């Protein structure tokens, strides 16, 4: 099984290099594997799409969920060329894959100017002290949607 895991990781690494060299974005690639087969490939598309959320892991998760017709990947593994950033980590937890394998570390990424430490630090701060101001508006009105969800009979739990 280790040899197969290495092959999946090599595919994520190959995508990271190939797509970066083609100008899609930074050197990040990911694959989603189910039952020993790659079901989705993702890569950083930030520059190609002008979308700051178009990271490799998010791209692979979206494609895998679409291919499988589900919003959760509980019987899948994710291979990514780098330790996930905070945004991708959030997406990974929402998708609930069985396991994540990564190659480069966040320290490796920071050395080439992909440093997410400031985001980790921002999350620890009180909202009033964050570098992007946040102001709450119309909570009572917004709670109506939550109340409707709470009493909805045929809702899908996720």
Q: Looking at the annotation, which residues are catalytic?
A: 57
Write out the E strands in 23-83. Answer: 29-34, 37-43, 76-82
* Helices within 35-129 (DSSP H only): 46-49, 56-68, 86-95, 106-111, 117-124
Q: Residue 105: what are its φ and ψ, rounded to 5°?
A: -95, 170
């Amino acid at each position: 099984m280790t040899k197969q895991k290495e092959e999946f990781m090599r595919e994520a690494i190959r995508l990271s290099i190939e797509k970066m060299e083609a100008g899609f974005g930074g050197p990040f690639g990911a694959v989603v594997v189910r039952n020993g087969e790659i079901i989705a490939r993702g890569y950083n598309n930030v520059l190609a799409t002008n979308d700051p959320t178009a990271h490799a892991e998010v791209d692979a998760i979206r494609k895998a969920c679409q291919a499988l017709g589900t919003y959760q990947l509980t019987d899948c593994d994710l291979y990514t060329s780098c330790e996930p950033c905070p945004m991708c980590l959030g997406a990974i937890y929402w998708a609930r894959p069985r396991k994540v394998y990564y190659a480069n570390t966040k320290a490796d990424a920071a050395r080439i100017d992909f440093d997410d430490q400031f985001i980790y630090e921002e999350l620890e701060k009180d909202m009033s002290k964050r570098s992007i101001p946040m102001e709450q508006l119309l909570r009572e009105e917004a709670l109506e949607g939550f109340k409707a969800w709470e009493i909805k009979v045929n809702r899908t739990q996720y």
